């Protein structure tokens, strides 16, 4: 827990890592939830309720390393936030259109 989080610079974020991160249903779920709330969210808040913590942790790591989220330790918890603005600048429309599409799709 002491190791600081590593976030890639926006210019180092690759499209592929983004797609890879979003291709997992659980991670897409997390991203959707983060996109919903305006401010950051801790891990257990953003992840599906029944997901084992070790799996949670793994998914957040993938999202972080892909450059999709920014994580910050706040006491005992970790606050995660989507890097929307930066990513929109780097890959215009990609995240936005995916999030929009995912909203339309979810009511099923």
Partner DNA sequence: TCAATAGTTCGAAAATCTTGAACTACGGAA
Partner DNA sequence: TTCCGTAGTTCAAGATTTTCGAACTATTGA
Q: Is 1 in the site for a second copy (CB under 8 A)?
A: no
61 binds a second copy (CB under 8 A): no
Cβ neighbours of residue 1 closer than 8 Å, sequence gap 6 or more: 73
Q: Is the CB of residue 40 less than 8 Å from the CB of residue 71?
A: no
The C-alpha angle with vertex 10 and arms to 9 and 16, in degrees rounded to 5, equals 110
Q: From the list DNA, a second copy, none, pick the one residue 89 interacts with, judged by a Cβ distance below 5 to 8 Å according to partner type.
A: none
- Comparison of 19 and 37: residue with beta carbon closer to a second copy: 19
d(Cα 59, Cα 20) in Å, to the nearest integer?
11
Smaller CB distance to a second copy: residue 37 or 92? 92
**Which spans of this chain sit near a second copy (rule: CB under 8 A)?**
14-16, 19-20, 22-23, 25, 28, 90-94, 96-98, 100-102, 105
């Amino acid at each position: 827990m002491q190791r600081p989080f590593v976030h890639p610079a926006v210019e180092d974020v690759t499209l592929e890592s983004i797609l890879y991160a979003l291709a997992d249903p659980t991670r897409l779920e997390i991203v959707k939830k983060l996109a919903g709330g305006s401010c950051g969210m801790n891990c257990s808040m953003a992840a599906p309720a029944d997901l084992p913590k070790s799996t949670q942790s793994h998914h957040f790591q993938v999202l972080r390393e892909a450059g999709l989220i920014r994580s910050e330790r706040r006491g005992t918890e970790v606050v995660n936030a989507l890097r929307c603005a930066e990513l929109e600048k780097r890959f215009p429309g990609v995240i936005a259109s995916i999030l929009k599409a995912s909203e339309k799709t979810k009511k099923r």
